[in-house]
Amino acid sequence: MQAAVMFGYNDLRVTEMPVPRPGPDEVLIRVQACAICGTDPKIVAHGWPNNPPFGQYIPGHEYAGTIVALGEGIADYQVGDRVAVEPHKGCGHCENCIRGFYTTCLNYGNLAAGHRHYGFTVNGGYAEYAVNHVNTLHRIPESLSFDEATLITTAGTAQYGITRIGGVRVGETVVVSGPGPIGLMAAQLVKAEGAGRVILTGTRQERLDLGVELRAADITINIKKQDVVKEVFSLTNGVGADLVIECAGTAEAAKDAVEFTRKNGRVALIGIYQGDIPINLNKVVQWNMTLAGGKAEGDWSLRRVLPLLADGRVKAGPLITHRFPLREINQGIKTFVGREGGAIKVVIHP
């Protein structure tokens, strides 16, 4: 098969690799589409802890395709089933996995213990074929294209953050910070789940406008032009937001999220942060706020968002701006990183 293989840092090459064989409780998937996630360029540049050795490592973790072979013990799926995958498969027997927190498995990276992180610690979907454990499969309906199905991990990550903070209460004012793929999914999800008003904040006007076009954002705030803290308080009669979904992943966005949240409000932190984050923790205490992190797509969140994607209440298609064949994956990554042509989500077709 053809696959994009890491031969070193910043050395991703499309080359021939043997087709993997499914073991017990695994299936072989013919990959139809694999979306580029923001983590992928970082893996290409710096690798990942516990990743397979160079010359054998196939990244990519947001993929969908058709089952073409079954390993021993597979009873719930058949050859020909259309599936999307989630990247995390916990060991299944540590305390966290037993409690359902498989994205924070205590045996992370330990293949002998049964842990798998597809595209990270084991091979992923930038290839014509991929092997996945049955626990990571989600059957997709005909109404959802393979390209659209690659975004269920994006939607699932947003949903897990929403779930971790206690969900959306009907009629609440929700601020979604950062109109990237996860933020645009989060805005759609909170709207579908009963938010009264959704305020979308960010720096890229075209992405803010897309939030409105998707009927997810009722109000947008361009933080380059407006003081976001003052604007949120003005829009809420001086009270602040009931719920904030922080997806931007910057220190300033995390700091502002706490500043414009109301007393007894909730903040979900979904972004990936770097360096020191100057959050006013005294305000968190004095205002009785709740903060929660959401690691990836846990709590079976992909299964939760699938019906919303399938019937169009949450839309994935408008977020897909570019498509490339596998042989042009490096151009695809360059397009994604540079946001060339307004790139939001870039999909690779093996």
Looking up tokens 């409780």 gives: 25
Average pLDDT score over residue span 135-143: 96
Topology (CATH level 3) of domain 2-151+316-349: Quinone Oxidoreductase; Chain A, domain 1 (3.90.180)
Residues 38-67 have pLDDT tens digits of: 999 999 999 999 999 999 999 999 999 999
Q: Report pLDDT for 275.
A: 86
Residues near 282 by beta carbon (within 8 Å), at least 6 away in sequence: none
φ, ψ for residue 305, nearest 5 deg: -85, -15
Q: Report pLDDT for 274.
A: 86
C-alpha to C-alpha distance for 102 and 136, rounded to whole angstroms: 11
Q: Report pLDDT for 299.
A: 87
C-alpha to C-alpha distance for 65 and 31, rounded to whole angstroms: 4
What percent of the chain has pLDDT above 70? 100
Average pLDDT score over residue span 70-97: 97
Token pair for residue 233?
């308080």
Q: Residue 214: which of 195, 231, 191 has the closest Cα?
A: 191
pLDDT tier, 110 (very low <50, low <70, confident <90, very high otherwise):
very high
Q: What pTM was estimated for this model as a whole?
A: 0.96
Residue 276 has pLDDT above 90, yes or no: no
**253-290 CB burial, b ≥16 within 10 A, e <16:** bbebbbbbbbeebbbbbbbeeeeeeebeeeebeeeebe
Residue 30 has pLDDT above 90, yes or no: yes
Domain boundaries, the chain: 2-151+316-349, 158-293
Residues near 293 by beta carbon (within 8 Å), at least 6 away in sequence: 161, 164, 268, 269, 270
Q: Of 50-54, 218-222, 244-248, 276-280, which gets the smallest average pLDDT?
A: 276-280
Topology (CATH level 3) of domain 158-293: Rossmann fold (3.40.50)
Asked if 192 contacts 317 with a C-beta cutoff of 8 angstroms, the reply is no
Asked if 247 contacts 158 with a C-beta cutoff of 8 angstroms, the reply is yes
Residue 234 has pLDDT above 90, yes or no: yes
Residues 179-232 have pLDDT tens digits of: 999 999 999 999 999 999 999 999 999 999 999 999 999 999 999 999 999 999
C-alpha to C-alpha distance for 230 and 260, rounded to whole angstroms: 8
Average pLDDT score over residue span 285-306: 94
Cα–Cα distances in Å, from 159 out to 132, 219, 249, 270, 336?
23, 21, 16, 10, 23
**SS3 sequence, the chain?**
CEEEEEEECCEEEEEECCCCCCCCCEEEEEEEEEECCCHHHHHHHHCCCCCCCCCCECCCCEEEEEEEEECCCCCCCCCCCEEEECCEECCCCCHHHHCCCHHHCCCCCCHHHCCEEECCCECCCCECEEEEEHHHEEECCCCCCHHHHCCHHHHHHHHHHHHHCCCCCCCCEEEEECCCHHHHHHHHHHHHCCCCEEEEEECCHHHHHHHHHCCCCCEEEECCCCCHHHHHHHHCCCCCEEEEEECCCCHHHHHHHHHCEEEEEEEEECCCCCCCCCCCHHHHHHCCCEEEECCCCCCCHHHHHHHHHHCCCCCCHHHEEEEEEHHHHHHHHHHHHHCHHHCCEEEEEC
Token pair for residue 333?
């990554």
Q: Report pLDDT for 132.
A: 98
φ, ψ for residue 330, nearest 5 deg: -65, -35
Residue 255 has pLDDT above 90, yes or no: yes
State how beta strands 2-8 and 62-70 pair: unpaired
φ, ψ for residue 101, nearest 5 deg: -95, 60
Handedness of CA 72, 76, 81, 87 (dihedral sign): negative
Average pLDDT score over residue span 109-124: 98
Q: Residue 268: which of 177, 181, 134, 195 has the closest Cα?
A: 177
φ, ψ for residue 319, nearest 5 deg: -85, -15
